[in-house]
Amino acid sequence: EYKHAGRNGSSRCLILDVEVNEEDLFRLKRCSLPASCQGDPIVVRRLDDVPHFLQHNAYLRNGYTSYLTAFQCLKSMFLWTNETVNIWSHLLAFFLFFVLMLMDLCEPVWLRGEQRSDRVVTAASLLCFQACMLLSAGYHTFRCHSQRAFKRWLALDQAGICVGIVGCYLPAVHFGFRCHPYWRQVYMCICCSLCAAVLYFSLRLRTSSRAFRRIVLPMYCCLVGYGLLPTLHWVHLCGGISSPLVSHFLPKVLALYAIGLLGFGFYVSQFPERCLPGRFDFAGHSHNHWHLCVVLGMLWMRHCWSDLLLFWSRQTEALLCHQPPLLAAEPR
Give pLDDT tens digits along the chain (332 positions): 545 555 555 555 555 454 555 555 555 445 444 433 455 689 999 999 999 999 989 999 999 999 999 999 999 999 999 999 999 999 999 999 999 999 989 887 666 667 888 899 999 999 999 999 999 999 999 999 999 999 999 989 989 999 999 999 999 999 999 889 999 999 999 999 999 988 887 777 665 556 666 777 788 888 999 999 999 999 999 889 998 889 989 999 999 999 999 999 999 999 999 999 999 999 999 999 999 999 999 999 999 988 888 887 776 555 556 544 333 444 44
C-alpha closest to that of 166 among 112, 130, 139, 137:
130
Helices (H), the chain: 22-31, 70-76, 84-106, 116-142, 147-176, 181-205, 209-211, 217-225, 228-237, 244-269, 286-314, 317-320, 325-328
Tell me the backbone φ, ψ of residue 270, rounded to 5 degrees: 55, 40
CA–CA distance from 195 to each of 161, 172, 214, 320 (Å)?
10, 15, 18, 30
Radius of gyration of the chain (CA): 26
Domain range annotation of the chain: 82-322
CB 134 within 8 A of CB 159: no
| Ligand-binding site membership of 140 (annotated) | yes
Q: What is the pLDDT of residue 31?
A: 45
Burial (CB count <10 Å: 0-12, 13-18, 19+), residue 119: middle
CB 172 within 8 A of CB 119: no
| Ligand-binding site membership of 287 (annotated) | yes
| Ligand-binding site membership of 180 (annotated) | no
Q: What is the pLDDT of residue 203?
A: 77
Q: How many C-beta neighbours within 10 Å does residue 65 have?
A: 22
Q: What is the pLDDT of residue 32?
A: 43
Report the topology of domain 82-322: Rhopdopsin 7-helix transmembrane proteins (1.20.1070)
Whole-prediction pTM? 0.84
